[in-house]
Amino acid sequence: MVDLMVNGTRMSIETDADKPLLWVLREDLALLGPKYGCGVAQCGACRVLIDGESTPSCVTPVGSVAGASVVTVEGLAQANGALSALQQAWLDEQVPQCGFCQPGFIIAATALLEVSPRPTDADIDEAITNICRCGTYPRIRRAIHRAATMLAER
């Protein structure tokens, strides 16, 4: 049994403590936003926030984060359904192509804006190492700048 807070809800999960968090989220909690890409902490498709830090869930044993707050892309919108600034900017800039990698990018960008509210392109490239096979990087940068502006004007 592992205790976690997932997207704001406390829960005790009957699971093997060695099971990767990604598979606990996808298989046990039916949260399909985090994706399986490489399985070795390289592509970023599985990223979630763990206590606010963007973390590859594919290599994170669930037992190692017992008691932590985990946020997946499903948990970024407000309770009333209002999208986060980044989610809205992603739509406004029409970022996704196939979409597979996008939850991981939005999670990584969310963590970046927490520590760097007005990042430069260089900051973005340095902080976000996720891989997008469709090559959406220019639109991702534009969406992050747009979200940063939206947040600054609130």
Kindly tell me the sign of the dihedral angle through the C-alpha atoms of 92, 94, 99, 105. Answer: negative
Please give the size of the binding site for ligand FES, defined by CB under 6 A. 23
* Of 139, 147, 146, the residue nearest 110 (C-alpha): 147
Report the alpha-carbon angle 75-77-81, nearest 5. 120
Residue from 117, 133, 138, 152 touching ligand FES (CB under 6 A): that is 133
Of 33-92, binders to ligand FES (CB under 6 A) are 36-39, 41-46, 56, 58
Distance of alpha carbon 34 from alpha carbon 42, whole angstroms: 14
CB of 49 to ligand FES, least distance (A): 14
Is residue 13 within 8 A of residue 28, CB to CB? The reply is yes
CB of 51 to ligand FES, least distance (A): 18
Q: Is 97 in the site for ligand FES (CB under 6 A)?
A: yes
Is residue 71 within 8 A of residue 25, CB to CB? The reply is no
Which of 101/153 has CB closer to ligand FES? 101
Which of 91/98 has CB closer to ligand FES? 98
Q: Which residues bind ligand FES (CB under 6 A)?
A: 36-39, 41-46, 56, 58, 96-102, 132-134, 136
